[in-house]
Chains A and B, each alone.
Chain A
């Protein structure tokens, strides 16, 4: 089964069909998707600002990352669920949309980066690493997550 076949199968699924037939389901799911984006944004930014030496400077990045973790994971789950539903309703359009593939690549990289490299740098603390590395990690993290958000927004533009 080719990738296109899979996308066609998704498009023809009962859930996708239900969302397409409804005039309000897609907008409502999309709005919830946007709320999730906002919360992810906050959870990512509060840690990245700290790594840049801004925001809550008196707390350790590790502590902030731990505090933000449930909100990051929770909103990420919300986004995957709502995003999955949106995907089912227009899979074929997305297959041919560059912004979708850009977004998925950014998402993959952002998740891998956040939970491996960034996690290691944060847990290493300021003592073991030169501050410049924290800053680089923060900038990369902001760029990757911005790629996800903006890629998502550009799916809506034709």
Chain B
């Protein structure tokens, strides 16, 4: 129930964001090549590469030129306020998710049944998660191309998928039998593994999320190692390579 609600709501938020961005980006569609060349805030070389990677680069480049994006980017307070919301809801989502993981590990609230922690706290983490995805999407929208190519952003997205997978495996696996271990002070191994993995993944997600702000591996800072440019879909120009 929890997981289905979470998936549905995340999908709705993403669909909404896609709808918003697709609509604002649409007028530029026919003129994509030109848009990339004149896109001023980020260095992008779209000439030689093909396929889905370059299509996404072009898409996020156009997105960066949309009124939504420039509005968020250029407003005096919008970005700071949205980032503050992102940090505040981090406490709600991450803090309570960590408590649930710690309960699964048997490290806190040992006398409270696991199902009770799940049913009473996880709805709040769902609220926190929706707020985080919404504010996070807006932050992405303010600087789309740079974020999309940022190595920490990509790491974060991959780990978010893994964390989601972990939630799904937990809820469709050992949690179905929760009645048999509900009051165990230390839950069974499978539940502890899920809790530990979740804790590790969310910690890494927070760490890499904070690191998105740093431009060490950004495409416009050449020369970079080939592996970095590969991981960031970056194609430096001849003059930048030296």
Contact = CB atoms under 8 A, between A and B. Distances in A.
Interface in B215-239: 216
Interface stretch (A8-16, A31-39, A120-128): A31-39
A61 B84 CA distance: 29
Nearest to A55: B120
B91 A41 contact: yes
A31 B210 contact: yes
Nearest to A26: B214
A153 interface: yes
A15 B82 CA distance: 33
B210 A34 contact: yes
B211 A27 contact: yes
Nearest to B112: A59
Contacts of B97: 42
Interface string B197-224: 0000001001100110110100000000
Interface string B73-109: 0000000100110011011101111110010000011
A76 interface: no
Interface in A51-73: 54-59, 63-64, 67-68, 70-71
Contacts of B189: none
B116 to A, nearest CB: 6
Interface of A: 23-24, 27, 30-32, 34-35, 37-46, 49, 54-59, 63-64, 67-68, 70-71, 146, 149-150, 153-154, 157
Given A42-B99, A149-B87, A149-B88, A64 B109 contact: yes
Given A63-B111, A153-B87, A55 B124 contact: yes
Given A31-B207, A55-B124, 18 more contacts: A23-B216, A31-B210, A31-B211, A34-B210, A35-B203, A38-B94, A39-B94, A39-B95, A42-B97, A42-B98, A44-B91, A45-B91, A45-B92, A57-B120, A71-B102, A150-B87, A153-B83, A154-B84
A54 B214 CA distance: 38
Nearest to B120: A56
A84 B83 CA distance: 23
Contact of B121 (A41, A56, A70): A56
B133 interface: no
In this complex, the member of B87, B90, B213 whose beta carbon has the largest number of chain A beta carbons within 10 angstroms is B87
- Overall SS of chain B's interface: helix
Contacts of B112: 56, 59, 67
Contacts of B117: 56
B77 to A, nearest CB: 9
In this complex, the member of A23, A37, A46 whose beta carbon has the largest number of chain B beta carbons within 10 angstroms is A46
- For the complex of A and B, the 10 pairs showing the least CB-CB separation, nearest first, are A41-B91, A42-B95, A41-B95, A38-B94, A31-B210, A67-B109, A31-B207, A42-B99, A56-B120, A157-B80
Given A27-B210, A35-B206, A42 B94 contact: yes
A30 B206 CA distance: 11
A43 B87 CA distance: 16
12 contacts: A23-B216, A27-B213, A35-B207, A40-B91, A41-B94, A44-B95, A45-B96, A46-B99, A49-B124, A56-B117, A56-B121, A67-B112
Contacts of A150: 84, 87-88
Contacts of A38: 90-91, 94-95, 98, 206
B88 A146 contact: yes
A80 B234 CA distance: 39
Given A34-B206, A38-B206, A45-B91, A67 B108 contact: yes
